[in-house]
């Protein structure tokens, strides 16, 4: 009996030693990546993040899907810190798409409650104010509950005068809907100026659409990361991403590590951007 207990204790000790060794190796690798990214110089002016895989992360861990979204919200806070440390000027995170509105109403209600909570937290987050982060919610929000809209407006109001990082929270967002909204705004402005529909359509140019996008005052994203292993855009910033570089990461969003983030940035730094030339 004693020999079995001793063997089990030895096995646990060996497992802990191996785990510690793996952790030390990963930490060392992460530090090397951080040095390489820092020395690489080129960082995105505008980073897009498609936060995919919350539900699958929860399912893989035997948890309810609501826990996946909660862990995903916590991860967004963590990644924001990484972006601030690197001095990335603009970040857009895609939290909820217009297509997601067809999901279970209870799931949508949970996501919106998380959105309200996070908006209230960000409005008082010392990092936001110390770094003068301007936060905006972009998308179509007319169907959101009033208390969620109030929290978003409070966050935007408190940070509207800041000149640091631009943080766009894409919620109730779809790329096609954004383009349609931009066209409507342009045509409405032309009509208000007394321009006929025929003249407005004859003179319509890409810059007219760009001027009315949700992110009109932010540079187009030069780098977009999507987690979960899915290799598609799903409508994220369709107009703005014409020359974006993409990086698809196999890990689910709540499991996205700093080492994954640094790997993506190192990959971006190694690319030769030709802008269609």
Q: For residue range 177-231, list pLDDT tens digits in order.
A: 999 999 999 999 999 999 999 999 999 999 999 999 999 999 999 999 999 999 9
**Distance of alpha carbon 255 from alpha carbon 240, whole angstroms:** 28
Phi, then psi, of 92 in degrees rounded to 5: -120, 125
- Are 134 and 33 within one domain? no
Under a CB-based contact definition with an 8 Å cutoff, are residues 99 and 173 in contact? no
> Rounded to an integer, what is the distance from CA 68 to the centroid of its chain?
16
Q: Which of 100, 121, 150, 181 is catalytic?
A: 100
Secondary structure letter of residue 274 according to DSSP: -
For CA atoms 204, 208, 210, 212, give the dihedral sign: negative
Query: Are the C-beta atoms of 215 and 168 separated by less than 8 Å?
Result: yes
What pLDDT is recorded for position 274? Answer: 81
pLDDT of residue 7: 56
Whether 277 maps to a domain, the answer reads no
Q: How confident is the model at residue 272 (pLDDT cuts 50, 70, 90)?
A: confident
Cβ–Cβ < 8 Å for 85, 160: no
Q: Are residues 92 and 204 in the same domain?
A: yes
Beta-strand ranges (E) seen in 150-217 are: 166-173
Task: Give dist(CA 31, CA 114) in Å, integer.
Answer: 32
As a whole number, mean pLDDT of residues 125-143 equals 96
Residue 24 has pLDDT above 90, yes or no: no
Q: What's the Cα-to-Cα distance from 86 to each of 44, 73, 80, 209, rounded to whole Å? A: 10, 21, 10, 31
Confidence of residue 18 (pLDDT cuts 50, 70, 90): low
Mean pLDDT of 164-184: 97
Q: What percent of the chain has pLDDT over 70?
A: 91
Residue 1 covered by a domain: yes
Catalytic (active site) residue 100 = yes
Q: State the pLDDT at residue 6.
A: 59
Mean pLDDT throughout 34-63?
A: 93
The pair of three-digit structure tokens given for residue 83, joined into one six-digit string: 């972006």
> 50 and 15 in one domain?
no
Is 15 in the same domain as 66? no
Task: Tell me the mean pLDDT in the region 252-268.
Answer: 97
**Alpha carbons 135 and 167: distance in angstroms, whole number:** 5
- Note the pLDDT tens digit of each residue in 85-106: 999 999 999 999 998 877 889 9
> Annotated binding site for substrate, which residues?
53-56, 65, 69, 97-99, 103, 226, 232-234
Considering 52, 125, 220, 260, which one is annotated as catalytic?
52
Element (H, E) at 207: helix 206-210
pLDDT at residue 239 greater than cutoff 60: yes
- Residue 96 CB: number of other CB atoms within 10 A? 22
Answer whether residue 168 is part of any domain: yes
- How far is residue 189's CA from residue 139's CA, in Å, rounded to a whole number? 20
Q: Looking at the structure, tell me whether residues 107 and 234 fall in a common domain.
A: yes
Distance CA 170, CA 95 (A): 6
Is residue 274, in this structure, part of any structural domain at all?
A: no
Regarding whether 260 and 203 lie in a shared domain, the answer is: yes
> Is 58 contained in some domain?
yes
26 & 89 share domain = no
Q: 71 falls in which pLDDT band (50, 70, 90)? A: very high
Whether 275 maps to a domain, the answer reads: no
Domain that holds residue 64: 44-269
pLDDT at 152 over 90: yes
What is the overall mean pLDDT for the chain?
91
Q: What is the CATH number of the domain that holds 198?
A: 3.40.1180.10
Has residue 231 been placed in a domain? yes
Give binding residues for Mg(2+) as ranges. Answer: 52, 245
Question: With 80 as the cut, is the pLDDT of residue 3 above it?
Answer: no
Q: Is 183 exposed, middle or buried (0-12, 13-18, 19+ CB in 10 A)?
A: middle
My answer on whether 240 and 215 are in the same domain is: yes
For residue 25, is pLDDT > 80? no
Domain match, 114 and 174 both: yes
Q: Say what the pLDDT of residue 204 is.
A: 96
Q: What pLDDT band is residue 162 in, cutting at 50, 70 and 90?
A: very high
Q: Are 115 and 199 contained in the same domain?
A: yes
For residue 12, the model assigns a pLDDT of 58
Using DSSP's 3-state secondary structure scheme, residue 153 falls into helix
The total domain count for the chain is: 2
- CB crowding 114-142: b at 16 or more within 10 Å, else e: bbbebbeebbebeebeebebbbbbbbbbe
Asked if residue 132 and residue 118 are part of one domain, the reply reads: yes
Please indicate, yes or no, whether residues 94 and 224 belong to a single structural domain of this protein.
yes
In angstroms, the Cα distances linking 54 to 60, 71, 129, 155 are 10, 8, 28, 24
Q: What is the pLDDT of residue 38?
A: 85
Residue 171 lies in a domain: yes
């Amino acid at each position: 009996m004693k020999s079995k207990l001793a063997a089990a204790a030895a096995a646990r000790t060996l497992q802990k030693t191996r785990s510690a060794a793996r952790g030390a190796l990963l930490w060392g690798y992460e530090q090397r990546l951080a040095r390489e990214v820092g020395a690489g110089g080129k960082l995105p002016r505008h980073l897009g993040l498609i936060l995919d895989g919350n539900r699958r992360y929860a399912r893989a861990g035997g948890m309810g899907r609501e826990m996946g979204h909660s862990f995903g919200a916590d991860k967004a806070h963590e990644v924001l810190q990484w972006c601030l440390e690197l001095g990335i000027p603009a970040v857009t995170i895609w939290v909820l798409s217009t297509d997601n509105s067809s999901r279970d109403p209870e799931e949508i209600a949970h996501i919106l409650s998380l959105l309200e909570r996070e908006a209230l937290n960000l409005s008082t987050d010392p990092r936001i104010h110390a770094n003068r982060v301007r936060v905006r919610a972009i998308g179509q929000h007319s169907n959101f509950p009033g208390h969620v809209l109030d929290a978003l407006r409070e966050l935007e109001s408190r940070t509207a005068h800041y000149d640091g990082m631009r943080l766009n929270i894409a919620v109730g967002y779809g790329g096609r809907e954004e383009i349609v909204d931009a066209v409507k705004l342009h045509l409405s402005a032309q009509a208000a100026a007394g321009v006929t529909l025929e003249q407005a359509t004859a003179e319509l140019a890409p810059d007219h659409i760009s001027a009315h996008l949700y992110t009109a005052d932010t540079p187009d994203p030069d780098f977009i990361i999507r987690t979960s292993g899915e290799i598609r855009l799903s409508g994220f910033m369709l107009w703005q991403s014409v020359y974006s570089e993409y990086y698809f990461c196999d890990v689910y969003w709540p499991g996205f590590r700093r080492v994954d983030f640094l790997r993506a940035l190192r990959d971006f730094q190694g690319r030769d951007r030709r802008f269609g030339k």
